[in-house]
Chain A
Amino acid sequence: MSALIILLLFGGGVAWLSERMGAQIPARVSLVVLLLASALFMALVRDVADTPVSLVSGANPWLLMETYTWIPRFGINVIFAMDGMSLLLVALTLLLGAVAVIASWTEIRIRSGFFQANLLWTLAGTVGVFLALDLFLFFLFWEVMLVPMYLLIAIWGHEDRARAAMKFFIFTQASGLLMLLAILITAVAYVDQTGQWSFAYEDWLAHPLTGMAAVWAFVGFLLAFLVKLPAFPVHSWLPDAHTQAPTAGSVILAGVLLKTGAYGLLRFGLPLFPDVAQAHAPFMLIIGVAGILYGAILAYAQTDFKRLVAYSSVSHMGFVILGIFAWNALAWSGAVLQMVAHGLSTAALFMVAGALQERLHTRNLSDMGGLWRAMPRMGAMAMFFIIASVGLPGLGNFMAEFLVMAGLWQAWPLICAVAALGLITGAVYSLWLLQQAFHGPLDEKNEGLRDFNARDMTALGVLVIGLLWLGLYPQPVLDLAAPTLDAIAQRVGG
């Protein structure tokens, strides 16, 4: 697994250097790097598939584990481990990474080498977050992936990029510091209990925190994760960052980076602080519902294509919060599925938005209209993904939201009913988006725009297949995540 991260980091360097051979080369290099990384990942996973026992037994949820000593002074080790949930998310990261490279194929002409390098480094950081099982290492990746993402927005972003990039970095950095504080509170408590330093997840599980320290530590973790998710009311960096980022940046932000927050909650927030987390569940559910409705209402009010999709992300990620804090395995599997499905559908929508911006030089919906006639392939794709994010049965997002609602209904029927309103508002803004951009009369100046080519269609086609698969036959994905979720359930009594 460390090889995977090293490959991405090293590939970033190669992509940067390859710029000297021509502005078009770096994108190719980074696509090759991502294909190599995927092959490596497949090889890792194939070993796992040969031993399906560990998948079923649930006694040891870790499919793979690597440990190296790093800083003995503080008992810090480099621990990478993969279970079903991180496997899914790493796969999503690599897939969307490739999509992002395709999205930047023609868009990025200036300093394309450094762009691709930052893209690959962000992906390396994200993969690190999904695999790290030492909290120090987790924090390191959590922070380090910000820097290349910041540069992506700050250098290649749109008109208001400076402010957006700054806001993104400060929100995440400040909440990250609180998480560092929380990590150290837990670590020092561990020292008090055992007399030695450790940041290893499994050590911490064996010596849970108690009392007020647990509450403070949980709040520290929670804030960092909620900012990343993002949850209402700490979401305000997201619309700016998503809107101003270049297409590939938006794809990675919405598709993968947001998931690190949810992943952190499921992996660390719940198992490390089961009692505190459960005590806060009602409050968190309200935050989730507020996010769903607030995001949906604001999405409807937007005139900017990317901003609308960004607010819809706030709304959809609200379902993930609901799924996590509904506190049963059904809802958790829904939350995991929602992470993947939302990643696929939103990445595709940002790709459409980026393609529109590249062709029309505007993201303003009122300048669009009737584009279906000019670009039928793009129109069809946009319709598919908009319908998917509305939650059409048979597609991944429906399956995910259904599971979340079903799980939530068992525990909190009232909240479930309110959250269901989000499905209606979701349909309203999504269809509004489709109608504004692609239906109605076509402006003359927009005639003869270049439609999606085979490269774009392949990238989106893969996402279409993914969403159909998640919608029609989600069982393999659910089976993958099940041991992880069972382990959490055993731990927190869900």
Chain B
Amino acid sequence: MSRTAAVVLAVAAAAAAAPVAASLGDGEVAGAERRIRAAPTPAAWVALAAASMRKARETADVAWYRRAAAAVDRALALAPGDYPALRARAWVLLGLHDFRGARAAAATARAREPGDWWNDATVADACAELGDYECATAAVEALADRRPGIAAYTRVAFLRTLFGDRPGAIEALRLAVAAGTRADPESLAWTLVHLGHEHFGDGDLPGAAAAYEAALAVLPDYHLALGGLGRVRAAEGRLADATALLARAVARVPAPDLVGLLGDAHAAAGEAAAAEAAYALLDQMDRLARATGTTYGRELALFYADHDRRLDEALRLAREDAATRGGVWTDDALAWALYKNGRLAAAARASHRALRLGTPDAAFDYHAGLVAAALGRDRRAARHLRRALARNPYFDLRQAPRARAALAALETSPGLARAAAPAGTR
């Protein structure tokens, strides 16, 4: 890897110095295409797949995942058992959110090369997305033992948070940041953004802002960092700054959660028309997504449930998500959509599943609190709402005030919260 990495670094450095900065991914795609023109070998096609995967990460454009998949298919057509193509296939399927396919492909590759940490990482990612955390933990332990570095540290951090150890996750992410390099800005910026998310999850706004700003210093205009910083500014009440940041983020990549947040920030600033325009954009995105396929079902389901729009669509999307993947975030989205559709018993069951690992996500407790209140379990409801607000009083621009109001209602006049439950409650 060392010499290959060296030329990548040299290309990146040259690109950084050039007036029009080509990305690492652009350089890799061009190099792979040259190789294919010279000799269309399986290795050259796998190189194009890897370059396309990098471009997919840089641009968040799912078309690059499709290109990567096509390149892997070409490699496998030339050489059906080609190992580099086999292990890349699992990676590409993860990007396309075909988690079952990815898990099978990763298992195949791991059977071929049990010592290659790459397969531990793809197995871990597929299992985590499918909610099989035992499998994911075993794979991440193997990965972390074989190949410490950004790939291992970021996955250790994910599982530590999942199991309730956020300080441990922050420690792992700090190691990951230290292992990162400006020559590979996307990986470093991604890691910094997730460090920011952990701080934000703790309600540590300055810590979160510092991490997002560091990510922007590495990768200017990075939509995830702009979105994270926008969320912090909104939480601080700096709504004009928030909408400006979120608009930049959305102009780069219109991810549904960021578009929804942009609408919420406009709404909080009293700009109802702008808020509605953002929300309407999401409806359009959903319609387009239905036609073309998307990887954002869960985010859209949460958006509709959060905003009391198209609640039937929210439940459809949440169920669709639950059918293709699993785990606590899927359970939580399903619980919230069920609750909004008045399916309280099912919502309580899903919410219970979401909370089973002690994952410190304030939204899980908020959703559990409202479900419990609607079922008349006031003490349980108040406990969840208190915990949500204690974990992160800023957890959501629109929902946090509602959590406070619901808690106040429970504390002053028990039973009122139940009356406020969604219509048609069963």
| A complexed with B | no
